Structure 1
């Protein structure tokens, strides 16, 4: 198959409320034009609720590519607008964790990210779905929704990941274990858990949580931190942040195309950083749903973004 070139015309749409969006909008505009892109529209959106509408309008106006600048929530909240349109979705990582950019191997530095768009290639990828809502990278139940629903915006904007981690420590003290019920249509599993991650990509919160997920695998991975002891969640994050050899000792992974996911009690779900749903939900993969711009040397970039030490002692169940 002959790969189509990356479009040289695009609409730039930046969430000015993201951590670096307002500061870097003008620079991004100038650097993209210097790299050879013709910007048929450029918007710094100060009201995040207008992001999806702005992207939708750009697509309707015939933009062959939209370049969205912001964090994971900005990207996930706008990606629905390019599904089934033929419009290419490109990313400028201007948020806090930038997990989706890490999954694609896109550099977090603005100059390098622009160069990646200018010299990259089109790549068709999967999206995850929570009921009828598309998402790019990861959804979660447990600590992350509590953080996402309560963290002061200015704390995350001005202190970045340090502020996020400080608030996470505060929320952790209120965390309670819950019962997870997972069904693939043929088998039901029940277990105690302190956190559940639904992974289309490898990263969540800027940390590589699995080496097994990829955005063109055709599967979704559900990763549960098992047990009733909150300490296991701390140990799991510590092991994954520092890439310890036993970094999967506290989690169990389930791979498949579709699951019914429920909890006791019903809990909120954070989707790419935004609290948007509540259990029970249907989780599935939308195979090859959109085209993105990724580095030409994607495998090298992927390895560099999440290289680990040795074997991880994986425990997984392949439900496909």
Structure 2
């Protein structure tokens, strides 16, 4: 961990369409200022399509730190604007699962998150890459993209992770396993799978799925739920959610810096909750790509 202090000036950019973004924007602004952070600008962005543009403008204007309020999708969509700039990324976890915040050890309440930004430390972390597109936490193919693409916004907004689980049960009807081909450049492996997770950190959907994935390991982790059984996939999520002893019984993990993934039939890919790609893809780790604000004890 670097000893250089966090900046005392920042741009605040909140996705107003995230689960708690609109409700907490003004409170977040006031609490950051009360904690001694000088806000060079503060924007509640109503149109998520404008998040990248807003972050880009803040970085170009010279903001030494950008505080992004929203969920994992908001962070993944904007992190590309920070790579190679020297601008620090700070996170206000205002989304549904907040997996990246969990990975960083950030408090999920507003007061705790503000305290980490005002009194925390810098940490240089890896990002994942899918065909040149950076992401902060995790991507997946199989059932998860189907859920992410079809889940009603209001169900997601008001029921949070419970809403996802309810919708997941609906999406299992008609879902089929697929054939996965994974190539690390030295060997190729083929297997049946119902879900594949591409992990830059241990959390996905707010659940700790891997014991080994981390944001400063210099590796990306591919975790496949093997076989063709829907019941096995459901059990895997249940076992990992409750951290049962045999929670890894139905998954296989691959660790490395780069992989080529293809499937039969082709599968959509959800990147930090947003369906943005389709197999085949090249997956890589971008080691130490950005600096983030974390609690001082992290």
TM over 0.5: yes
2:196 is the alignment partner of 1:212: no
2:285 is the alignment partner of 1:285: yes
Distance 2:158 2:238 in 1: 24
User: What is aligned with 2:15?
Assistant: 15
Could you list the per-position Cα deviations for residues 44-66 of structure 1 after superposition, in whole angstroms to 9, with x for gaps in the alignment? 00000000000000000000000
Give 3-state SS (helix, strand or coil) of 2:75's partner.
helix
User: What is aligned with 2:182?
Assistant: 182
User: What is aligned with 2:81?
Assistant: 81
Give 3-state SS (helix, strand or coil) of 1:269's partner.
strand
Distance 1:70 1:202 in 2: 19
Distance 1:187 1:71 in 2: 36
Number of equivalences: 298
User: What is aligned with 1:115?
Assistant: 115
2:74 is the alignment partner of 1:63: no
User: What is aligned with 1:202?
Assistant: 202
Deviation at 1:270, TM superposition (A): 0.1
Could you list the per-position Cα deviations for residues 229-259 of structure 1 after superposition, in whole angstroms to 9, with x for gaps in the alignment? 1111011001000000010001000000000
CA RMSD of aligned residues (A): 0.8
5 Å-filtered alignment, 1:1-320, equals: 3-298=3-298
Distance 1:21 1:249 in 2: 38
TM-score by length of 2: 0.99
Distance 1:163 1:195 in 2: 19
Deviation at 1:173, TM superposition (A): 1.8
Could you list the per-position Cα deviations for residues 25-48 of structure 1 after superposition, in whole angstroms to 9, with x for gaps in the alignment? 000000000000000000000000
Distance 2:145 2:52 in 1: 22
Could you list the per-position Cα deviations for residues 75-134 of structure 1 after superposition, in whole angstroms to 9, with x for gaps in the alignment? 000000000001000100000000000000101110111111112100000000001100
Deviation at 1:2, TM superposition (A): 5.8
Paired residues of 2:145 and 2:270 also in contact (CA < 8 A): yes
Give 3-state SS (helix, strand or coil) of 2:160's partner.
helix
Deviation at 1:174, TM superposition (A): 2.4
Deviation at 1:279, TM superposition (A): 0.1
Ranges in structure 2 where 5+ consecutive residues have no aligned partner: none
Distance 2:242 2:78 in 1: 32
Distance 1:96 1:251 in 2: 25
TM-score by length of 1: 0.92
Give 3-state SS (helix, strand or coil) of 1:18's partner.
coil
Distance 2:255 2:2 in 1: 31
Distance 1:154 1:276 in 2: 21
User: What is aligned with 1:307?
Assistant: none
Could you list the per-position Cα deviations for residues 130-155 of structure 1 after superposition, in whole angstroms to 9, with x for gaps in the alignment? 01100000000011100111111111
Paired residues of 2:2 and 2:123 also in contact (CA < 8 A): no
Distance 1:246 1:58 in 2: 47
